[in-house]
Amino acid sequence: MSVRKFVRSFGYAFKGILTACTEQNFISHLLSAAIVLIAGYFTGLSRIEWYIVLLLIALMFALEMINTAIERVVDLASPNIHPLAKQAKDLAAGAVLVFAIFSAIIGLLIFIPKWF
């Protein structure tokens, strides 16, 4: 791969991130992340707790972007309503929900002992 193609690939990736930032669900994750980061700052998280929180936030963003990509590809491949297309979109959304629930549980396990 040439250096020019390699650098250009970063441009495409940044365009993808900017596209994600226009999505309603991604924006809600951004707001949630901001609240968690502010709470972490005032709570005084340890270094390892910060690592965990930042990893969960990054994975949530990435998973939401993958979910959006799956939804777009399914919409392109199946513009009409089809049971398999619906299942694919529902499964992708379900994966995001499962991760969000477990991230919240981990967050509570980190924060609650420090608050009480």
Q: Catalytic residue positions? A: 64
Q: Give the C-alpha separation, 63 to 104, whole Å.
A: 15
HSE, CB side, 13 Å, CA atoms: give it for residue 46: 5
Q: Report the Cα 70 to chain-centroid distance in Å.
A: 14
